[in-house]
Amino acid sequence: MKPYIMKTIQLSGLLLGLSILFSACSNNGIEEKEASLQEKKGELASLKTEIKTLETELAELSPESAEKGTIVNILALTPQEFSHSFEVNASLEAVESAMISPEMSGQVIELLVKEGDIVKKGQLLARLNTKVIESSIAELNVALNLANQMYKRQKKLWKQEIGSEIDFLTAKNAKESLDAKLNTLQTQKQMAMITSPIQGIVDQIALKEGEMAMPGMAVMHIVNINEFYLQAEVAEAHLASLEVGDPVEIYFPSFPDLNKNSKIYRLGQVINPENRSFIAEVKLKNKDGFLKPNMLALTRFIDFYQKEAIVVPTALIKHDFSGAYLYIVQQKEKAFYAQKVHIKTGYTMDDMTHIISGLDLGQQIITEGYNKVVNGSKLVIL
């Protein structure tokens, strides 16, 4: 190989290596600067928090602050809308669902639908073998034809007072007996026609053409998915707080974006002794077609609601031997003092607690600095 070609190859390789090295260094430099920037931002936030804490502590430790009182923040109590709810798992059950079974035994000779078909109420689904029945009907029709002729003749003679009464009654009985047998066979033939008792979708077909079907044996399953029952097992402790017509929020793990609102349709009248629960039932329309039988749902029942309630942050509530309490602001002349007030609490929801008694609207509660005061402490309100 010629020398100048060798040098060209070496120079190209060197340039390629430098290019890769420069690119790597450039990328690493950007990543390092971004990481450093995030670190500095974190340090700045931490410093701001420390500065605020130190300023508060210095203000409290200063002689002037000690004379004035403990620095606190307060909140005036105003009426607020408050509700409490609880969640229970539930499952969906179609309002109309049918396991189709024949009324008589026989061989399936024809299936007139397939899985997934939409059927109407009374629509023919399948036929059983009726050759024996049809043969019996044909024979019976021949005998019945003769019996009808004999009955008409005997009836005519009897009206003319010719012949005996026994002959007339025998002919009549023979004719009526064959009529009854023919009706029975016609009914049996009709029973071999399997029809749908509801409108819905053919979900499953259990037998094939040529197989034997018997009463009690499922031939196919039909379900109407237009409307569902949602059944939730609710703990006995909630029995007194729920009523028919109460609102219910419904969520579906299979469809995170699908939420529905409904009302309690029915409350069970029996407590399950095994888990101490009762059934709360909701009716749901399935207009969008997403709901399926036995699908899991999450139901949220509202067991308490008050349009104008007194609620406080749960973290403010303390406890002693007399029960729950918090601090409110009491004004004497131009000074403010902490007053310990015992309260009766109700439900807690989303870090807020409903106050049943002990507080009045308009009162001011201490929201910051409440851990540094006692009953009678002098206050400095920010």
DSSP string covering 82-145: EEEEEEEEEEEEEEEEEEE--SS-EEEEEE---TT-EE-TT-EEEEE--HHHHHHHHHHHHHHH
CA dihedral 272, 275, 281, 282 (to 10 degrees): 180
Strand partners, 201: 118, 223
pLDDT at residue 56, as a whole number: 58
pLDDT at residue 150, as a whole number: 80
**Residue 183 to residue 175: CA distance in whole angstroms:** 13
**Residue 283 to residue 277: CA distance in whole angstroms:** 20
Strand, coil or helix: 344: strand
pLDDT at residue 299, as a whole number: 93
**Residue 3 to residue 380: CA distance in whole angstroms:** 90
pLDDT at residue 55, as a whole number: 56
* Ranges of the chain whose pLDDT falls below 50: 1-11, 14-15, 18, 20-26, 63, 65-66
pTM of the predicted protein model: 0.58
Strand, coil or helix: 72: strand
Contact (CB, 8 A) for 283 and 265 = yes
Q: What are phi and psi of 126, to 5 degrees?
A: -160, 160
pLDDT at residue 381, as a whole number: 86
Residue 283's alpha-carbon distances to 198, 224, 229, 264, in angstroms, are 18, 14, 5, 8
Which residues, other chains included, contact 225 with Cβ-Cβ below 8 Å and sequence gap of 6+?
94, 200, 201, 286, 289, 291, 292, 293
